[in-house]
Structure 1
Amino acid sequence: MSQENNQEKKKKQAPGGYIGFVAGVFSGIAKNAVGHPFDTIKVRLQTDSTRFTGPLDCCYKTLKTQGIKGFYLGFTPPLFGWIMMDSVMLGSLHNYRRLIKRHFYSDEPKLDLKGHIFAGVLAGWTVSFIAAPVELAKVKLQVQYGAKNNRYSGPISVIKDVYKQHGLGINGLYKGLISTLIFRTNFITWWGTYEVFTNLMKDHTSMSDFAINFWAGGLSASCFWITAYPSDVVKSYLLANDKFDGSFKSWKLATKEIYQNKGWRGFTKGFVPSILRSFPANAAALAAFEAVLRATGASSS
């Protein structure tokens, strides 16, 4: 009886759904600090087929012509953007898990794999409405290669220019919304494998919770990028090229042009820095997220 009372007391003391959004802030900071240089190389390889021969050549030329700063071009949008996006993504993930648990798994001790996948996809679609304009600004800054040719001075410059020319809608700041929704539908893989890896490590290792979150976060993110990468190439290509009008057919047009110009290999451009980035950036991000939830007495599931 006392054990049941203690469990009830813990439930009452546990913070509400807001804590997922707070924990997501720490995730965004960790992710951007670790991952942005990799992301810059990835985007440059995705959007320019003639300037670089590969990731090492891209690193060398970026360092030679722009120094360390070159790897952090477009850093400001994702710095604030990742904080905002991870807060929304992981906060909504946390709350979708709570809602699904409450309404569909009320008699079960925890969510099953299907519940985690469903919550993950809903979180991906939710954050897409924040991610689309942030990623538009990031990509346009990342594909600037020299001061003389720079069109934009920073993220505000991008936002102002795009808004002035095309407005707020699907032709303007939300040009990449459809491609972003398609890309984040692959959260099926991410959150499904995260749950699988987490359970396997809990059952078959003696690692700490932090270590399990770190390894499960990194491995699941790598699985996600393997399945999602072609759609990310299309998204970056679409955002970097102004000739697409942002209509609902733009994603198809971008896909067709990539294939016509580069074949199937075109959908793997920049994959190496992306997969190298995926493990450390997301391992750190999810370990930070789960650590905050544990510290506050909240549950991630």
Structure 2
Amino acid sequence: MSVETEVITAPGLALADTDINWDRLDKTRFHIIGAILFTAQSALLHPTAVVKTRMQVAGSGLSHMRGIHVFRDILKNDGVPGIFRGFGTSAVGSLPGRVLALTSLEVSKDMMLKYTEGLNMPEATRIGIANGAAGMLSNLISCAYFVPLDVICQRLMVQGLPGTTFCNGPLDVVRKVIKAEGFRGLYRGFGLTAVTQSPASALWWGAYGAAQHIIWRSLGYRDDLEKKPSHIKMVGVQATAGMIAGACSSVITTPIDTVKTRLQVMDDYGVGRPSVIKTTKALLKEDGWRGFYRGFGPRFLNMSLYGTTMIVTYELIKRLSIKQAPEPEEEGVQR
């Protein structure tokens, strides 16, 4: 599960309206508006997550089908509710997690910007380091909340497939997982998620920053502070960079996601309690190295769309959450 992160303005551009720091936000509006808009965004992308998850499960009969065919198969057998399995649990359960993620992100970014203020380095580098550190810290904190939610949602997504246990709703998932494995069963894949998603977050933002930098330069925006892009152009550049970052990240992180998904949803591989090594060996035995890219198409689409919509949505949330009457000292621009 991806963590929402701050929009970074193009290096060399003094765009006050796009760089809205923590002290300029109305915190209540920020969390309420954020919860509403990110829930709507999740609803649009949830079907791709369901398709991807079902393609990654062993014995599903869907692993070698194209994503569009899996989508049609789900619609044919389960109707529209089938492509939204687990969404209610994900939407409601994510609300506290979003507050935790957004708050830790913004507070840690603000602290890093202040801590690095006196260092002798380019401003773009300083902002990049602050955002990267904030994204990594926010991701680590959020994992403690989102991993159990991920386990529950993914088990609901794969209901009825071979090797899975039928559960009557999210509470039944929790009850059966705890009964079978104890509380630690809800944290299957936690170490893998925490260890891999933090570098993945750095990869995402690195690709995003590089793509945005190249795009702005190709459009002729360098260090001329008098030349500022329109809001539409700014959003277009950020959205494009977000899409590129999501696409690049999906290529590298899909194998890890495949192992994590199977580890979280399968009950038994015939060799005792599943582990990362056992799951990886089983995947290699079944389908070779290409098995690690099961569900790549839907995941590629999901992450590309997520990168685009997340950037645009997050920018809108911050604009709508600016304090109505900021004090004069709060108007300083952090480039």
TM range (shorter): 0.7 to 0.9
Of 54, 57, 60, which aligns to 1:47?
Answer: 57
Higher helix share: 1
Q: Choose which of 100, 108, 126 in structure 1 pairs with 2:141.
A: 126
Structure 1 length normalisation: TM-score?
A: 0.82
**Is the CA contact (8 Å cut-off) linking 2:25 and 2:318 kept in structure 1?**
no
Q: What is the aligned partner in structure 2 of residue 267 from structure 1?
A: 292
**Residues matched between the structures, number:** 288
Q: What is the CA RMSD across the aligned residues, in angstroms?
A: 3.2
* Residue ranges of structure 1 left out of the alignment (5+ in a row): 1-9
Report whether the alignment pairs 1:79 with 2:94.
no
CA contact (8 A) 1:26 1:285 kept: no
- 1:61 maps onto 2:73 in alignment: yes
1:258/1:266 contact within 8 Å kept: yes
Looking at structure 1, the residues matched to 117 and 279 of structure 2 have their Cα atoms a distance apart, in angstroms, of 41
- Specify the SS of the correspondent of 2:186: coil
Distance 1:15 1:112, change over 3 A: closer
Distance 2:272 2:321 in 1: 43
Give 1:22 deviation, angstroms.
5.1
- The corresponding residue for 1:25 is 35
Q: What is the TM-score when the length of structure 2 is the normalising length?
A: 0.74
| AA of the residue aligned to 1:103 | Y
Report the alpha carbon displacement of residue 59 of structure 1 after superposing the two structures with TM: 1.8
Q: Indicate which of 236, 249, 260 corresponds to 1:224.
A: 249
Which aligned pairs between 1:158-177 and structure 2 lie closer than 5 A? 158-168=173-183, 170=184, 172-177=185-190
Deviations 1:214-271, CA, capped at 9 Å, x for gaps: 2232222222222111111011000111227998x82222122211222111110000
Unaligned runs of 5+ in 2: 1-19, 220-228, 324-332
Identity %: 22
- Determine the C-alpha separation between the residues in 2 that align with 1:152 and 1:300: 50
Cα distance in 2 for residues equivalent to 1:232 and 1:66: 25
Give CA deviations for 1:68-115 in whole Å, capped at 9, x if unaligned. Answer: 111111112221244444443343222222111111234575634333
Aligned counterparts of 2:186 and 2:27: Cα–Cα separation in 1: 30
2:259 matched residue in structure 1: 234
Query: Structure 1 counterpart of 2:245, which letter?
Result: S
1:116 pairs with 2:158: no
Q: Deviations over 1:176-210 (max 9, x none)?
A: 21122133121111122222333444454445333
Q: Among residues 113, 131, 137, which one is paired with 1:101 in the alignment? A: 113
- The answer on 1:289 being equivalent to 2:301 is no
- Give 1:291's aligned amino acid: L
Q: Identify the residue that residue 35 of structure 1 maps to in structure 2.
A: 45
* Residue in 2 that maps onto 1:212: 237
Which residue does 1:191 correspond to in 2? 205
Instruction: Tell me the equivalent position of 1:14.
Output: 24
In structure 2, C-alpha distance between the alignment counterparts of 1:15 and 1:258, rounded to whole Å: 47
In structure 2, relative to structure 1, the CA distance for the partners of 1:189 and 1:29 (3 Å cut) is: same
1: CA distance, partners of 2:281 / 2:317: 44
State the Cα distance separating 1:11 from its structure 2 match: 8.2
Superposed CA deviations along residues 163-188 of structure 1, whole A, max 9, x for unmatched, are 333332x3x21122112213312111
What residue number does 1:243 align with? 268
Instruction: Identify the residue that residue 194 of structure 2 maps to in structure 1.
Output: 181
| Equivalent pair of 1:40/1:71 in contact (CA under 8 Å) | yes
1:78 alignment partner AA: S
Q: Deviations along 1:34-77, whole A, 9 cap, x unmatched?
A: 11101101000000355123123312221111111111111122
CA distance in 1, matches of 2:334, 2:263: 35
Structure 1 residues 111-157: Cα deviation after superposition (integer angstroms, max 9, x where no partner) = 343333232222221211111111101111111138xx971122122
